Amino acid sequence: MGAFVGALVLVPLVAALGIRIANAIGGADFISTDRLTAKVGVTPPDLAALNLNNAGWILVAVALTWFVHRVRPGFLISVAQRFRWRWLAVCFGLGILTLAVTVLVELVIPSTTSAAAAEHYSTERTAAFIAVVALTTPLQAMGEEFMFRGYLTQAMGGVAPKAVAVVVPALLFAAAHGSQGLPVFIDRLTFGLMAGVVVLVSGGLEAGIAMHVLNNLVAFGVAIGTHSVSATLAASGGTWWVVPVTLTQNGVFLVLVVWATRRRGPDFASAPAAAA
C-alpha cells in the first residue's frame, strides 16, 4: 500500500508542484499535462517532467525500505548493498549484444509497429529531445526498476513464493504504462518477467537497469529520428510481430545474464538483511 500511495499520490503531488514552478518560469504552457495525457504534441519539457516523475519512485522505494521495513536501502540495489559497477558495465555489454541480435530478427519479420503519426520537429526541438532523453531516460528506467523489481519484488518475496514476487510486479509494471495495445502490453509484461528473474539470478538490479536503459534510449532515439515521440508514448500502434521480437530480446538477455552470473560466482553470494 505504501508503494501505491508514494508512487501514485506523493510523487505526482511533488511533480505537480515542480510543473507549476517550471510554468511560472518558462510560461503557462511550458509543461502541459494535457499534452502528456492525450499523447499529442509532446514537447521536450513534457517528456522531461514525465521521466523525472518516474525517477521519483527511487525516493519512494528508498523511504519505504528504510522507514517502514527498517532495512538498509542498499539492499534495494543488490546483495552487496550498492551498485556493483563492474557487473553493471558487463550487463550493458550484454544488453548491447542482445540488441544486435534483436535487430537481426527485426530485419527478417514484418513491421512491429503500425504507421505512427509524425510531428514536425525543428532542429532546436530535436536537439532538446536528444538532451532530455540522454539525461533523464536513464533516471526514469532506474525509477521503475527500483520500484517494481527493487521494492515490490523484495517485499512480496518476503511473504509469497518467488513466482508471485516476479509475476505480480511484472503485471503492475505493464499496467502502469497506461492505455496500450495488447501486443505492447505483452512486450512490457515479458520485460517485467525477465527483469524479475534476473534480479533473483544475479542478486541485484544492475542487469534489469542496463537492459531497461538501453531499450528506452533506442526506442526514443528512433522516435526522435522519425518525429514520433508522442506516438511512442501512446504505445497503441504495436503489431503482433512485436511478440517474437520481445521474446528474442528478453530471452537472449536472460540467457546471457545467467551465463555471466555463473561465471562471476562469489560476487553474488546472498547477504542477510540488516536493520537500518
pTM above 0.85, yes or no: yes
Q: Residue 215: inside a domain, yes or no? A: yes
| Number of domains making up the chain | 1
Which residues make Cβ contacts (< 8 Å) with residue 205, sequence separation at least 6?
76, 77, 78, 145, 146, 149, 150, 199
Instruction: Note down the domain range covering 244.
Output: 2-268
Q: Residue 97: inside a domain, yes or no? A: yes
Q: Which pLDDT does position 271 carry in this prediction?
A: 44
Q: Residue 185: inside a domain, yes or no? A: yes
Q: Residue 201: inside a domain, yes or no? A: yes
Q: Residue 50: inside a domain, yes or no? A: yes
Cell, residue 44: 521536450
Q: Residue 198: inside a domain, yes or no? A: yes
List pLDDT tens digits, range 161-202: 999 999 999 999 999 887 788 888 999 999 999 999 999 999
What sign does the CA torsion over 229, 232, 236, 237 have?
Answer: positive
CB 179 within 8 A of CB 236: yes
CB 196 within 8 A of CB 168: no
List pLDDT tens digits, range 101-137: 999 998 888 876 665 667 889 999 999 999 999 999 9
Q: Is 269 helix (H, G, I), strand (E, B) or coil?
A: coil
Q: What is the DSSP string of 83-143?
A: --HHHHHHHHHHHHHHHHHHHHHHHTS--SBPPPPP----HHHHHHHHHHHHHHHHHHHHH
CB 202 within 8 A of CB 77: no
Q: Residue 273: inside a domain, yes or no? A: no
Which residues make Cβ contacts (< 8 Å) with residue 196, sequence separation at least 6?
149, 153, 165, 166, 167, 169, 170, 208
Averaged pLDDT score across all residues of the chain: 87
CA 130 to chain centre: 18
- pLDDT string in tens for the chain (276-residue length): 555 555 555 666 777 778 888 878 888 889 998 998 888 999 999 999 999 999 999 998 998 898 888 889 999 999 999 999 999 999 999 999 999 999 999 888 887 666 566 788 999 999 999 999 999 999 999 999 999 999 999 889 888 899 999 999 999 999 988 778 888 899 999 999 999 999 999 999 999 999 999 999 999 999 999 999 998 888 766 788 889 999 999 999 999 999 999 887 645 544 444 433
Q: Residue 178: inside a domain, yes or no? A: yes
Cell, residue 187: 512486450
Q: Which pLDDT does position 231 carry in this prediction?
A: 87
